[in-house]
Amino acid sequence: MTERTIDPGDTPRVVALSADLIDRSKISAAFPAAILVRSVVKLSDAVTTNAGTPSAGTARLLVFVDLGRVEDITVLHELGGHIIGFGSHVDEEQLAAAQAVGIEALPRSVFFRRLENGDF
């Protein structure tokens, strides 16, 4: 994994929806303070709580979503923050549906490569 060289004040706050232990460990390795949840309801609660946290200052909010865990992708656009969804590269319909509601949708391999390279 590439060493992150950004100013600590610029480190984004991260909330992530994933049930996969390997995915969660990779996200935690890149963003140790990330809040990890396993359901859309908990994701919504975590985003709402962290979007208005006074300690958040001006840090941007990144929301990572395993698209395979979401039945209705349209609910995600209401969350706020910069939403980045990841899913199977063969499920082009799912990736396109996420993009249609304003989500940055990436194949899983691209998402984790960017995560490891510190490109978020």
In a domain, 87, yes or no: yes
CATH number at residue 108: 3.40.50.2300
Question: Residue 42 sits in which domain range?
Answer: 9-117
- Residue 55, pLDDT score: 53
Is 2 inside any structural domain? no
For residue 14, being part of any structural domain is answered with yes
28-86 pLDDT, tens digit each: 999 999 999 999 999 999 998 876 554 555 578 999 999 999 999 988 888 888 999 99
- Has residue 42 been placed in a domain? yes
Please state the pTM of the whole predicted model.
0.85
The total number of structural domains that make up the chain: 1
Q: Is residue 32 included in any domain, yes or no?
A: yes
Give the pLDDT score at 6.
46
1 located within any domain = no
Of 6-10, 21-25, 35-39, 115-119, the range with the lowest mean pLDDT is 6-10
Report which secondary-structure segment, H or E, holds 26.
helix 21-30
